[in-house]
Structure 1
């Protein structure tokens, strides 16, 4: 699994951090920051949830 964030599309809602805080963080402006580009399978469900609930659809997952 590879995670990609479109930081230009991010609206700084923080939903990704709430869903998968080990994989996502936010910068000083609230824009999503990727902590793990290739998270372990243990985080896969949380990452998929983060992508699904992102209001800007700024998270893409490549399997």
Structure 2
């Protein structure tokens, strides 16, 4: 499957293991044995961008960044979620 043109980054040091990301996009986000977030798919398939954006917006501790820049775009022109 080809990617969406988005790239996902997680910040495990911010994670509070609440599971909002896993509920919103279980194919993209998983958990380790202790429940902390694990990124399973850094460049999600084309059918998942809405789920990934919902996961990032739902994270109460902003542990997920989503770069919506299409491949080959210059960074900095498109906002990210969770990168405050």
Query: Whose RCO is larger (CA < 8 A, sep 6+)?
Result: 1
**Distance in structure 1 (CA, Å) of the matches to 2:22 and 2:34:** 14
Size of the aligned set, in residue pairs, is 63
- Larger radius of gyration between Structure 1 and Structure 2: 2
**TM-score, normalized by length of structure 1?**
0.96
Q: CA RMSD in A?
A: 0.6
Residue 32 (str. 1) matches residue 34 (str. 2): no
Q: Which runs of 5+ in 1 are unaligned?
A: none
Q: Which runs of 5+ in 2 are unaligned?
A: 1-5, 69-84
Going by fraction, where is helix more abundant, 1 or 2? 1
Moved over 6 A (4+): none
Q: Which residue of 2 aligns with 1:47?
A: 52
